[in-house]
Structure 1
Amino acid sequence: MSNKKSNKNSSIFTVALTRAPLALAISAALSTAAWAQTDAIDKPDPSNDMEIMVVTADFRSASLEKMPSSITVIDAQQIQDESAQHFEDVMNSIANFNWSGGSSRPKYFQIRGVGEQEQYQGAPNSSVGYIIDDIDLSGIGMVSSMYDLQQVEVLRGPQGTRYGANALAGLIYLKSNDPTDVFEHGVEVSLGNDDLQTFSGFSSGPLSDSGKLLYRVSLQQHQQNGYRDNLYLNKEDTNGRDEFTGRAKLRWYATDNLQLDLTLLHADFDNGYDAWSLTNDPKHTISDQPGVDSQRTTGAGFKATYSGAESFELTSLTSFANTDHHYSYDGDWANPEYWAAKQCDIYDADWNSIGKLPCVYDATWSKVGQRKTFTQELRLTSSDAGRIFNESTDWLIGVYFSSLHEDNSLIDYAKYSNGGLNPSFKERTKYLDSTYDAQNYAIFGQLDIDMSNDYLLSLGLRLENRSSDYSDTNLDNFSPSETMWGGHLALSKALSEQHNAYIRVARGYKAGGFNMTLPADFSDKKEFNTETLYNYELGLKSAWLSGALSTNVALFYMDRQDQQVSASKQNPEDLSEFILFIDNAGSSKNYGLEIDANWYIDSNWHLYSSVGYLNTAYGDYQYEVAEDQFVDLTGRDLAHSPHLTYSLGGTYRANSGWFANLNMSGKSEFYYSDSNDSRSEPYTVVNARLGYEASAWSAYLWGRNLFDEEYGVRGFYFGNEPDNGWAEKQYIRYGDPRQIGVTLNVKFM
């Protein structure tokens, strides 16, 4: 194994690697019959995959076909068939979905062109909600292992009734497997190039003879070098991934009418971050101070469901999460020897060039933070006996509270040739400590009216107040408070047993906020307004060929008002520094199409695909980046909004046990940023998996990005090289290259 980032990280790695075999040991120890019972385990039956998909992120769990909204559900079978280890591995199969790759793992998402691209200073306020087992991790969603996951749900469009201020664009919901009333255990080992090692294990079953107390535990340790070789430090793991995820669930049927569910989550991602190159080399770096992207999250979710009342069911959802995170990078992307070999211009007092000297450039950026979140929701949901209006209408009403506290410490250092009088250079060190608190209070309600002639009308409304308080050592203080509202109106019609159509209007909102550490001439940009989004959607969900083929089609139009836009300018007084701020862009219009299809041709063949078309455009919007110099975005596409996203996959399971999966996905070009016209290139990535599946074990050979496609996931256009006068240039961070590996999976009962 290659050297770790530091002695501290070496010890962490040793502990983490020690934890990995625990997954194997726990599962084996809890298996009372182990190999003796393997004959009782049936091999995978593809026909079982044709069961109805249930969406669990909504108030009432309902089948995907009945939900009047555009939703993608990726089930456990697809996750397994595609060898997905992390949410990053399945994202490209989601129509009109993108992410901004400025971190070691995806944190910042865009749905239908709406979402953040980065968050450097704090004061979080997400456009895309991110929830794991009812634990809210919006804005810090990198801890998303796919192991032992039941399904991934992506709800597109504003979720104003259900989730409010953190789901303007939509919601990502990860649902792990629940405890089982019979014992089952499993272990899995994956090895691959890039020094990949993944050890996983789970155990599930009853804890009492009565079967009223059930448990499930799953553990995974994942490690790899991160696909980048640092030529200056002669290391291959400065961009490495060292990721531990543990989940535990308890389910207690306390009485016939009371069910209690406890979920515990601990994730420790100790990743490096060394992904950028001055020459846009996708596999090599020369930085002397590689960055880190670490996140340690401990969370808990508690759900109590009481169904003893005649006319309603009471549900309580409580969650807590504590996250320590550290994000840093080498700002000059090189080293002292590299810059000393370059020549920088020097000038006299009248700015006449008088020669050259070896360049000086050294820059680092680091932010350490701690975030604590608490949420509490109580809701009453009608039972069959509690339906109102002549037993035609289901109802629910609820209240919600959330609290977020975050402390951040930021250090920004730079020393560089300033192009000034010989032999001067410029040096700065900036420190910023900040504290942020936010509280949200909401009341919400929904009516689902069963009308005549197979019409169903759904009405939802949410009223939410958000108050926040921010202060920092730069003497910035903000305490905004506002009341917002959102909701939906949806009418669905069962055209036949095979076809269900719907029309939906939804209103979402995202709270306003403030910009920290802005220069005096940006005084009019200190605060920005609330954004609202109206989404108009028409959909058709169909079953064909006696249910073997299912399709979901949605047309949408989005009207964003007071759109919040991330903008930046290079500081003319300090060329190594960027001024970042959020502005309101007036409005923008997005429209498009989404299609999901699943076809179980027979018991051996399964095909699935998705297509997304998206058109976005700013309204009348421009902002000043220098005196009398403006960036005009009027009519331009929004950043990270490709016109086309697509995926196609197929699985074959032979009766003899042989298995094969081939899938491909891709995107058209898109703008990397709202502050310049730098664009990505279109790309297609092909993955495959081949193996053998027996009743109690399986073995696979798999490959991701088989043709080693070089594709950009984040880009900047700015000056970062003093030897060419800080001339602006496109810099690209590339996605993961080709990887080949093997996986062995064993299950016990």
Structure 2
Amino acid sequence: MHPRYLIRAAALVSIAIPSTPTLAQDSGQPETEPPEGMQSEAQSPSSVGTGAADDGTIVVTARRRQENSQDVPIAVSVVGGEHIDATGSFNVGRLQQLTPTLQFYSSNPRNTAVNIRGIGVPFGLTNDGIEQGVGIYVDDVYYSRVASATFDFLDVAQIEVLRGPQGTLYGKNTTAGAINITTRHPTFTPEGSLEVSLGNLDFRQVKAALSGPLSDTVAARVALSYTDREGTLFNAATGENINEQNNFGARGQLLWEPSNAFDITMALDWSRQDPLCCGTVFVGAGATQRPLERQFAALAAAQGYAVPSNDPFDRIADLDAPLSAVNELGGAALKANWQLGSGTLTSITAWRFWDWLPANDRDFLGLPITTLSQNPSRQDQWTQELRYSGEIGRVDFVLDAFGYYQEIRTEGSQAQGPAASQWLINPSNPLSNDPTVLDGLTATNDIRLDNLSAALFGQLSWKVTDRLTLQPGFRLNYDRKEGLYQSVVTNGDGQLVTFASTDPRIVTQRGVLAPQSFETTFSDWNLSYDFTASYEIEPDVLAYATYAKSFKSGGINLNGVPSDAVGDPIVAAATVAPESVDHFEAGVKAQFLDRRLTANLAAFRTEIDDYQALVTNGQLGVLRGYLANADKVRSQGIEVDLSWRPSARFNLYVNGAYTDAEYVSFADAPCPPELSGGTIALPGQSPSSPGTPGGISPENCDISGQRLPGVSEWAFSYGAEYTHPVTLFGAGGEIYLGYDGSHRADFSSNPSQSIYTSVDGYSLSNFRLGFRSDGGFNIFAWARNAFDEEYFEQLQVPSGNTGLIVGNPGDPATYGATVAVRF
């Protein structure tokens, strides 16, 4: 029997296994009377980062048990649900403005990267055959598709961003960290909420939740969320606004709690995005090593084309191909809890799906070069987790078994248009003047992945003395991936484009879209482990140090591989070795002034051997880039989270991160555009200076010592809120003024640093002014990016080395008002 069927069978059988809650929210107690340490709406808001509040402590579940966040020897940022609502941080992209160690980049939901400390997934590289290094978990369920990060948070109670490897506590993909999201759960006391927001750009957002008992032992909760906003770019080619927001989500939960020692929660969720998206704007064109007549300015002039604006912050796009970003996901989960002996047995069974229906303008211009680019994809995943946690004397323990199976099926196509010949074929080829050569040239793709993973992992926490705790952990992991890649190419006459043909037209056509077919398999075992020692120097002052040895699963190259001289795929490039991670961290968590001042400090160094990245040449002697392993990267730095609450009326927070992330050794990297496109240097020849038209280009570039892309050396978030008691509309309460700001220094937006793709640093400021009553009514006005900072979320280098640079401008200033009621 194939192992994947065993996982599915175990998932079904486990539904019958009960267990006891390990999370505070699972206890079935009313949220208006929360379990020990868990905030309610009536308590003061938390501070971003440390989670500190005036009343009560902040409970986190980072170590799969409820603990005071200040007692957890892990670098973790805590963001309360009320702060998410107040700041409009309704998805991971906006969450990064509150947590400076988190990086989020997305040109569309599929092409999304979530990194922590600059590592997790290679920036700008999307490949279904490799995995993210940052795991996203919602109520203990692993979300394997990073596209889920683009959806609205739905009825969230708290978010914890864990920094550094977490593989001895979490099921999958946590070599860089984890985002642990906890939603609000069914309650046996009736409660509900309704929140409505309106703003400029026709922004409309509605959130609603209702919870209460159905009987003495059964409670239910239903939550809905809808967000809609006009696009922030105008597409001159179609007369439409693009890059909209259009999200709808629903979540339902049913809790059965027949006794204090046993409960089962069933959860169903479904979300859909259907915006007119996703486009970029023209940023500029830089000189490359291509012959001058094959660079952007000459190619555009030859077809009488001009971009609609040279100022990217005019926010005018020019995209003539269809655009679509329909993104749908959902699933079902069954969590059963049973108090067994001295501990708790927990079973979590889940199925999730992801449907992706895209269409892009892959040439990024208003010319019919690529007229269709779409790779619809369907993913199903099944996960099963069995966890036993408890305490025996001075030892806390967590032991976990995790099984995972994923199927991805992608069937897409790319088609070229009448402008392709003149744009893509060398002018020295007489076929470049024949628009029929490439018009209708179509690649039809079939891409498949079957991904199986199983792990046994756990941690012990031994309180050697009242002050000293030793915490070893381990993880034994098995991964197997089976992949298929097939691209069939036909021309406008319906002929197959093959490597066997010597017809000049077909030879030219396969130079643009090449057919390829291969199947491959990857499998591997690995052992991870970590050790943490923590010491309570004084009450409310905890010091800790950690070493972790971790691995990120190997993978399969499902974007195609280089071909040999006769057109056969080089199958040696089809698999990618695992990453090997050595992580060192030390930190201090402290509270002073009667716990009004919280100061957390962490210093870290993470070294990754066999870093998964796009390489050129490597061991294969080919010029085409392909997914493989760079020798080594390193990320190191210092993080500070400060929260000061001098009175019940005022709170202040400052979070900062210094991150020094670089390629330690990467000799086979693709070159940046200014060194690409020329004649390849022969042995003994020196490459031309960057940006020399018709110059000599290196085979590849040694970028050892360069900064990793996508991460700023310095990043900060900061904010404050002041409240004053008043009576308004006959109700007692408080008026409040809040501010939240963030700053990120410059960063590289290309895997190999380029003079054309350095994104300048920027600062964002958000304000809110409102009134909240003692009875749960809240009304406030808000402004986000209040000073209308012009900045790029990322810059992109389209393929072809023409020098074209396009970008994704960040949101302009937005403003509006929110009314919320909780009862």
Q: Which TM bucket (shorter chain)?
A: 0.7 to 0.9
- Aligned in 2, Cα 1:147/1:529: closer, same or farther, shift over 3 Å? closer
| Aligned with residue 805 of structure 2, among 708, 713, 730 | 730
Query: In the alignment, what sits opposite 1:299?
Result: 331
Alignment of 1:38-437 (within 5 A): 45=44, 50-103=55-108, 107-116=112-121, 117-118=123-124, 120-138=126-144, 139-163=146-170, 165-208=172-215, 210=216, 212-236=217-241, 238-279=242-283, 281-282=312-313, 283-307=315-339, 309-336=340-367, 361-383=369-391, 387=392, 391-415=393-417, 416=420, 417=422, 418=425, 419=427, 420-421=429-430, 423-425=433-435, 426-427=437-438, 428-437=441-450
In structure 1, the residue corresponding to 2:312 is in which secondary structure? coil
Query: In the alignment, what sits opposite 1:565?
Result: 613
| Aligned with residue 666 of structure 1, among 740, 743, 748 | 743
- In structure 1, distance between residues paired with 2:175 and 2:42: 42
Query: In the alignment, what sits opposite 2:582?
Result: 534
Matched, 1:607 2:639: no
Alpha-carbon distance, 1:452 to partner: 2.1
Contact 1:134 1:301 survives alignment (8 Å):
no
| Aligned with residue 511 of structure 1, among 553, 558, 568 | 553
Structure 2 residue identity aligned to 1:292? S
- In structure 1, distance between residues paired with 2:821 and 2:114: 34
Alpha-carbon distance, 1:527 to partner: 2.4
- In structure 1, distance between residues paired with 2:665 and 2:240: 49
Contact 2:194 2:821 survives alignment (8 Å):
yes
- Aligned in 2, Cα 1:445/1:46: closer, same or farther, shift over 3 Å? closer
In structure 1, the residue corresponding to 2:227 is in which secondary structure? strand
In structure 2, the residue corresponding to 1:84 is in which secondary structure? coil
- In structure 2, distance between residues paired with 1:71 and 1:553: 11
The structure richer in strand per residue is: 1
Query: In the alignment, what sits opposite 2:529?
Result: 487
Alpha-carbon distance, 1:45 to partner: 4.5
Matched, 1:584 2:589: no
In structure 1, the residue corresponding to 2:237 is in which secondary structure? coil
- In structure 1, distance between residues paired with 2:412 and 2:394: 57
Query: In the alignment, what sits opposite 2:708?
Result: 638
Alpha-carbon distance, 1:603 to partner: 1.1
| Aligned with residue 519 of structure 2, among 445, 468, 477 | 477
Q: Deviations over 1:546-567 (max 9, x none)?
A: 0011111100011111111135
Contact 2:562 2:626 survives alignment (8 Å):
no
- Aligned in 2, Cα 1:396/1:270: closer, same or farther, shift over 3 Å? same
- In structure 2, distance between residues paired with 1:696 and 1:74: 20
- In structure 1, distance between residues paired with 2:348 and 2:799: 49
Alpha-carbon distance, 1:713 to partner: 1.6
Matched, 1:619 2:664: yes
Moved more, 442-451 or 391-400: 391-400
Alpha-carbon distance, 1:44 to partner: 6.3
Alpha-carbon distance, 1:106 to partner: 8.4
Alignment of 1:445-464 (within 5 A): 445-452=458-465, 454-464=467-477
In structure 2, the residue corresponding to 1:93 is in which secondary structure? coil
Normalised to the residue count of structure 1, the TM-score between the two structures is 0.84
- In structure 2, distance between residues paired with 1:155 and 1:661: 26
Alpha-carbon distance, 1:62 to partner: 1.7
- In structure 1, distance between residues paired with 2:702 and 2:229: 43
Q: Deviations over 1:580-610 (max 9, x none)?
A: 5222111122110111122222111111121
- In structure 2, distance between residues paired with 1:740 and 1:274: 23
- Aligned in 2, Cα 1:101/1:631: closer, same or farther, shift over 3 Å? same
- In structure 1, distance between residues paired with 2:715 and 2:375: 34
Alpha-carbon distance, 1:80 to partner: 2.7
Structure 1 residue identity aligned to 2:742? S
Structure 2 residue identity aligned to 1:732? G
Alpha-carbon distance, 1:453 to partner: 5.2
Contact 1:105 1:142 survives alignment (8 Å):
no
Structure 2 residue identity aligned to 1:444? F
In structure 2, the residue corresponding to 1:65 is in which secondary structure? helix
Q: Deviations over 1:450-471 (max 9, x none)?
A: 1025100011101010011111
- Aligned in 2, Cα 1:588/1:79: closer, same or farther, shift over 3 Å? same
Structure 1 residue identity aligned to 2:199? G
- In structure 1, distance between residues paired with 2:748 and 2:89: 27
Moved more, 728-737 or 188-197: 728-737
Structure 1 residue identity aligned to 2:433? P
- In structure 1, distance between residues paired with 2:627 and 2:524: 18
Alpha-carbon distance, 1:115 to partner: 2.2
RMSD: 2.3
- In structure 2, distance between residues paired with 1:669 and 1:362: 32
In structure 1, the residue corresponding to 2:594 is in which secondary structure? helix
Query: In the alignment, what sits opposite 1:597?
Result: 642
Q: Deviations over 1:123-158 (max 9, x none)?
A: 241211112222322333235423521111111111
User: Which 5+ residue runs of structure 2 have no aligned equivalent?
Assistant: 1-39, 47-52, 284-310, 487-515, 618-622, 671-675, 682-697, 727-733
Query: In the alignment, what sits opposite 1:739?
Result: 814
Normalised to the residue count of structure 2, the TM-score between the two structures is 0.77
In structure 2, the residue corresponding to 1:489 is in which secondary structure? strand
- In structure 2, distance between residues paired with 1:605 and 1:463: 48
In structure 2, the residue corresponding to 1:443 is in which secondary structure? strand
Contact 1:106 1:142 survives alignment (8 Å):
no
Aligned residues: 662
Query: In the alignment, what sits opposite 2:603?
Result: 555
Structure 1 residue identity aligned to 2:327? Q
- In structure 2, distance between residues paired with 1:104 and 1:738: 23
Alpha-carbon distance, 1:164 to partner: 5.3
Query: In the alignment, what sits opposite 2:784?
Result: 704
In structure 1, the residue corresponding to 2:787 is in which secondary structure? coil
- Aligned in 2, Cα 1:43/1:561: closer, same or farther, shift over 3 Å? closer
Moved more, 609-618 or 672-681: 672-681
Alpha-carbon distance, 1:249 to partner: 1.8
Query: In the alignment, what sits opposite 1:689?
Result: 768
Structure 1 residue identity aligned to 2:358? Y
Query: In the alignment, what sits opposite 1:16?
Result: none
Percent of aligned positions that are identical: 24
- Aligned in 2, Cα 1:493/1:362: closer, same or farther, shift over 3 Å? same
In structure 2, the residue corresponding to 1:166 is in which secondary structure? coil
Contact 1:292 1:328 survives alignment (8 Å):
yes
Structure 2 residue identity aligned to 1:225? E
Query: In the alignment, what sits opposite 1:525?
Result: 573
- In structure 1, distance between residues paired with 2:328 and 2:404: 21
Matched, 1:653 2:666: no
Alpha-carbon distance, 1:673 to partner: 2.0
- Aligned in 2, Cα 1:248/1:704: closer, same or farther, shift over 3 Å? same
- Aligned in 2, Cα 1:674/1:87: closer, same or farther, shift over 3 Å? closer
Alpha-carbon distance, 1:696 to partner: 3.7
